[in-house]
Structure 1
Amino acid sequence: MQTRQAANQSRGHTLAKGIRNTHSQRVYSTRCQQHEAYSSAVTNERPLDLIVFGATSFVGQIICSHLVSRHGTDGPLRWAIAGRSADKLAQVSAETGADVERIVADATDAADMGQLAERTRVVLSTVGPYALYGSELVAAAASAGTDYCDLAGEPQWIQQMIDLHQGTAEQSGARIVNACGFDSIPSDLGVWFTQQKSMQQFDEYCRMVAMRVSGLKGAASGGTFASMINVMNDVAANPKLRKVLGNPFALAPDGMRHGVNQPNVTIPQHDDVSGQWVGPFVMASINTRIVHRSHALLGRPWGDDFTYDEAMLMGDGPLGAAKAAALAGGLGGVMGAAAIGPVRKVLERFGPKPGTGPSPEAQEAGYFSLRFFGDTLSGDTIRTKVTGDRDPGYGSTAKMIGETAVALLDLDRTTTAGGLHTPASAFGGGLIDPLVEHAGLTFSVVD
């Protein structure tokens, strides 16, 4: 193994098609009946704990640096990096210190993805837009019983993956966790945290939670921009997707994709919740869907009439109103322009590109601060906040998904079964401590 890994590190390791370990075949054939035995066998038989797929992306490189800092390259965590180009993987290895096995694999090749999934206990994917490059790996992970996490913020694709692979993942034991970056860990776990504190203080969950962004500094993510453009392309090709994108319950399990009307800040307005002027928050379209999926997967403990929305705080008085109007107008203009095919092509050409991002200094100068306002049916109120100490789209996102991937290795299968999950449904509060200790996040109650 040492000799083979050394050779792999010098030239990259190309997946050999059609080759499988006979022990793995035996394990896979019995996994549906013997989940506990399967879990133990995966730990013992698979050569790797974690593969970072898409390691050559901008955020992938930051993830590699984080894993090197946290776990080294020759410690208990057996990890590898993967991507399409052996040369680029070698460059990432040299620049980040990720002197680990390098695996060359094509995201669009089902055989490559199948063998990638079968070599590891957890796979972390940064390969977006996921609707273009992510589907084969999700299918492979679900089939192989491999735990998986990604940075997907594309509701139409996540719904498609749920509908296609939920049953397979339940049978194999694979925990597929979407939206493990700035969209949507702070929102999803922020609501979960707020609800737990409400129950502790008032013996009652909140029937209404509103998240307000009180501070944010960071560069636009090229990957997020590319995903937004691709969503628009998908809608242009299939107008029926407008209904999916417009439904706040679109990611709930089939049969639960309905509920009470949800507030949705799309125009400048004075906010009764915060007492300030607010404008639309660009990530609300995915974050709210993830929160409502979490609520559904948890059994809707917060009530069938639970509401959740997100917005940006713009301040008080005329200046706050002007800022809210400018934000709404600017965001509306961009989204409206992106809906027009020729203009969308111009935006795609000149907008931020995947693979590019801010300098390390800019990442460290970034931050985010979110406020959660919760009200119970009895009239009690609770206020909490979630903060991050790096720019949200890159520095914080990389650490969040890195900690998520490692946490999946120790996630108890008797409490979190196979299926497509959200961060809150998979971990509950179990992810909060690693995020606080190693990813620079804070979760607290505001007096």
Structure 2
Amino acid sequence: MNPTKEFDIIVWGASGFTGRLVAAYLFKQYGTQGDLKWAMAGRNQEKLTAVRAEVADSSVPIVVADSNDEASLKAMILRTKVVCTTVGPYVTYGSKLVAACITYGAHYCDLAGEVQWMRQMIDKHHEEAQANGVKIVHTCGFDSIPSDMGVYFTQKEALAQKGQRAKRIRMRVAGMRGGLSGGTYASLSKVLEEAMQDKEIYKVLVNPYGLNPTDKQEGGDHPDLQKVIFDPTSKSWIGPFIMAGINTKVVRRSNALSGYAYGNDFRYDEATMSGKGFKGRMKGIMSALPLILMTAKQGSILKRVANRMFPKPGEGPTKDQRENGFYSLRFYATLEDGSTALGKVTGDKDPGYGSTSKMLGEAAVCLAKDSLPEISGILTPSTAMGDALLDRLEKHAGLTFSFK
């Protein structure tokens, strides 16, 4: 990576809802007069200027580019070490940008949760990115940094404190406040819509190892939980977690890319805790409702209800809702000797926007400024950035990690 580039980071899509939050975070945390050189970018100079006036000041450079014009993308990418993009759905707007970053030499991070598109990027570009020394890192928001880094941290502490790895980890969402973002709903709906029309995409979605290297797609994990059951591990009723279909595949890819650091027999799953007794069971059933609505067929009554219920792209929680949101995740680990341990990850803002914008911002800074593992390709947060990202998340992004 060329150390003399004009910018460390370009935030692509900075005039969008999430993009402006990332820009606001970088300006508040790092300003423009320090060591970090960054810019706001998008297609429309007027919109970018207006957003800059809201979230920063005129000291933040603006870069105008056209995502459909390779020459325009090339000119932008040659100016920066890292492209940080919030422009989704990525299956629609991300492919040319990924290809250009690999060709012209810039690391890349995004908020993609579109499993079928991520599979396409792996198949098309992993080897080329390796050859060019470029890190392409998807899922740098609530999906899937807390899950991926939570497992990474739990395994690291299990080895350090217990002298053995965890052969199985069950992640349970213990608490969460904050609405689903419109962009996340649009992306998930797009994934499910395409899966209903394309058997190959469907196979990727239902395969627990669908993001693993093609020769490493076997293991003991089953498809993600789709019903409400009582979980002896957490002593609670549990139901489906809407992000599990993305997070679990990312964690398994991390294991494969790390040379099976968690073990060839490592197993992982995710679910949402809903409490004990009859009340807990009913709460679990209600928590499964968004997933039912989201998977409804296009044009159906249920889908029309979902489209009215969920926010549209660019919509999301208010500032107060973002500030007062939180999440708490528990990582129930079974170690090699059968003993147990518990990892915890908490976030201090709503998951969809408040925390996600800080996580993505720190991932971009990490890629630009830190000493990182010598690995390139289509990566995961933990394999691309490891301890350096863990440190940034705790120091700056409002996440806490604990183990006992």
Query: Residue 43 of structure 1 aligns to a residue in which SS?
Result: coil
1:198-246 deviation digits (Å, cap 9, x = unpaired):
1122211111001000010002201101101211232244232110000
Segment of structure 1 superposing worse, 130-139 or 196-205: 196-205
Segment of structure 1 superposing worse, 67-76 or 204-213: 67-76
Q: Which amino acid aligns with 2:189?
A: I
- Residue 96 of structure 1 corresponds to 55
- Residue 115 of structure 2 corresponds to 155
- Residue 205 of structure 2 corresponds to 245
- Residue 99 of structure 2 corresponds to 139
Q: How many residues align?
A: 402
TM-score w.r.t. length of structure 1: 0.86
CA distance in 1 between counterparts of 2:295 and 2:393 reads 36
Which blocks of at least 5 consecutive residues in structure 2 are unaligned? none
CA distance in 2 between counterparts of 1:106 and 1:246 reads 35
Give the counterpart of 2:265 among 305, 312, 323. 305
Within 5 Å, give how 1:12-91 maps onto structure 2. Answer: 39=1, 42-44=2-4, 46-91=5-50
CA distance in 2 between counterparts of 1:308 and 1:56 reads 37
Q: Whose radius of gyration is greater, 1 or 2?
A: 1
TM-score w.r.t. length of structure 2: 0.95
Query: Residue 313 of structure 1 aligns to a residue in which SS?
Result: strand
Which blocks of at least 5 consecutive residues in structure 1 are unaligned? 1-38
CA distance in 1 between counterparts of 2:94 and 2:305 reads 25
CA distance in 1 between counterparts of 2:81 and 2:150 reads 28
Task: Indicate if the aligned counterparts of 2:118 and 2:211 stay in contact, CA closer than 8 A.
Answer: yes
Against the structure 1 CA distance between its residues 98 and 132, is the aligned structure 2 distance closer, same or farther, given a 3 Å change threshold? farther
Query: Residue 157 of structure 1 aligns to a residue in which SS?
Result: helix
CA distance in 1 between counterparts of 2:304 and 2:103 reads 36
Alpha-carbon deviation of 1:70? 1.2
Query: Residue 141 of structure 1 aligns to a residue in which SS?
Result: helix
The RMSD of aligned alpha carbons is 1.7
Against the structure 1 CA distance between its residues 147 and 346, is the aligned structure 2 distance closer, same or farther, given a 3 Å change threshold? same
Aligned-residue sequence identity (percent) comes to 45
- Residue 312 of structure 2 corresponds to 353
- Residue 392 of structure 1 corresponds to 351
CA distance in 2 between counterparts of 1:227 and 1:382 reads 35
Q: Which amino acid aligns with 2:399?
A: L
CA distance in 1 between counterparts of 2:337 and 2:57 reads 53
Q: Which runs of 4+ in 1 moved over 3 A?
A: 340-351
CA distance in 2 between counterparts of 1:104 and 1:358 reads 28
Q: Which amino acid aligns with 2:137?
A: V
Against the structure 1 CA distance between its residues 263 and 340, is the aligned structure 2 distance closer, same or farther, given a 3 Å change threshold? closer
Give the counterpart of 1:438 among 371, 374, 396. 396
Query: Residue 199 of structure 2 aligns to a residue in which SS?
Result: coil
Query: Residue 193 of structure 1 aligns to a residue in which SS?
Result: helix
Query: Residue 139 of structure 1 aligns to a residue in which SS?
Result: helix
Within 5 Å, give how 1:246-325 maps onto structure 2. Answer: 246-262=206-222, 264-325=224-285
Query: Residue 173 of structure 2 aligns to a residue in which SS?
Result: strand
Give the counterpart of 1:119 among 43, 64, 79. 79
Query: Residue 220 of structure 1 aligns to a residue in which SS?
Result: coil
CA distance in 2 between counterparts of 1:103 and 1:342 reads 42
Query: Residue 316 of structure 2 aligns to a residue in which SS?
Result: coil
- Residue 229 of structure 1 corresponds to 189
Alpha-carbon deviation of 1:394? 0.2
